[in-house]
């Protein structure tokens, strides 16, 4: 006999001790629903579908619960990049934008300053200016301050291409290297992480020159790290 709703028949998809029960998953120990811990029953509170009474009037409710569950899961795993909400700026994100290079032992801050100027000339890129910030801090506060200088280095043609893409990109212009005497007495150079150029999604006609400048900046930093001229 054929009895789709059970009753000891040879085919009973909704339970009833039948030999073939596609919603029963063979045994009462099987449960379907990854959102319920080790049990698998997101739409019925973790209860097994097998041998449960079937009420057609509950179909809409079950369907609505299923849709709600799927939406919650999608929202939970949705990458931040695909979200309509802008990513929140954090200290960690900011730190990823900079790179820190520790200067070799025995090299002073002023020596690093001179090395940066010399290396910029060697790399055929303009050293625009050096701002002796520590001196300015001392002048304003009347108290000595640890070495802190800011070097501005620029390839004007490349800077123009970047600014033409988005005016806001001008905030990173020109390239900078900060020479800082840490509170631990060590001299370090702090500069922008070149990976930021890729994150900005520059078009190829701007990305190529920008990466050329990044290579020159790295050469300057590597030379100044050991006090080269």
pLDDT of residue 80: 44
pLDDT tens column, 7-53 = 444 444 444 444 444 433 444 444 334 444 444 444 444 444 444 45
120 and 53 share a domain?
A: no
Distance CA 77, CA 88 (A): 17
Examine the pLDDT at 92 and tell me if it is beyond 70: yes
Closest CA to 171 of 134, 205, 196: 196
Which of 45, 75, 105 finishes a domain?
75
Q: Give the distance from CA 91 to its chain's centroid.
A: 12
The pLDDT > 70 percentage for the chain reads 62
Q: Is residue 80 part of a domain?
A: no
Higher pLDDT, 142 or 50: 142
Indicate the pTM of the whole model: 0.62
Q: Which two tokens stand for residue 150?
A: 């800011």
- The most distant pair of C-alpha atoms in the chain lies apart, rounded to whole Å, by 101
Examine the pLDDT at 228 and tell me if it is beyond 70: yes
203 and 99 share a domain?
A: yes
Distance CA 175, CA 128 (A): 10
Q: Is residue 90 part of a domain?
A: no
108 and 34 share a domain?
A: no
Helix (H) or strand (E) run with residue 223 in it: helix 204-225
Quote the number of domains for the chain: 2
CATH of the domain at 145: 3.30.310.70
52 and 154 share a domain?
A: no
pLDDT band at 63 (very low <50, low <70, confident <90, very high): low
172 and 64 share a domain?
A: no
Find the mean pLDDT for residues 55-84.
51
Residue 229 is classified by DSSP as -
Which of 46, 75, 104 finishes a domain?
75
Identify the domain containing residue 152 by its residue range: 95-225
Distance CA 31, CA 96 (A): 45
Rounded alpha-carbon distances, angstroms, from residue 63 to 25, 26, 55, 66: 20, 23, 13, 5
pLDDT band at 93 (very low <50, low <70, confident <90, very high): confident
pLDDT band at 197 (very low <50, low <70, confident <90, very high): confident
Rounded alpha-carbon distances, angstroms, from residue 54 to 1, 4, 58, 143, 228: 20, 11, 8, 83, 82
């Amino acid at each position: 006999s054929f009895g789709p709703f059970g009753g000891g028949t040879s085919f009973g998809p909704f339970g009833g001790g039948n030999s073939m029960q596609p919603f029963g998953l063979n045994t009462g120990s099987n449960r379907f629903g990854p959102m319920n811990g080790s049990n698998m029953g997101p739409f019925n509170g973790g209860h097994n579908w097998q041998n449960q009474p079937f009420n057609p009037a509950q179909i809409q409710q079950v369907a609505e619960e299923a849709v709600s569950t799927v939406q919650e899961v999608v929202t939970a795993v949705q990458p931040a990049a695909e979200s309509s909400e802008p990513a929140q700026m954090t200290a960690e994100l900011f730190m990823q934008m900079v790179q820190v290079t520790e200067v070799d032992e025995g090299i002073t801050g002023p020596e690093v300053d001179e090395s940066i100027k010399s290396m910029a000339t060697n790399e055929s890129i303009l050293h625009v200016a050096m701002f002796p910030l520590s001196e300015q801090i001392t002048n304003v506060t009347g108290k000595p301050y640890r070495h802190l200088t800011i070097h501005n280095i620029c390839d004007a043609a490349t800077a123009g291409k970047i600014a033409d893409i988005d005016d806001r990109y001008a905030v990173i212009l020109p390239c900078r290297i900060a020479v800082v005497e840490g509170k631990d007495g060590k001299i370090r150079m702090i500069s922008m992480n070149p990976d930021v150029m890729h994150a900005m999604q520059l078009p190829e006609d701007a990305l190529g020159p920008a990466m050329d400048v990044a290579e020159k900046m790295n050469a300057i930093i590597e030379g100044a790290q050991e006090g080269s001229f």
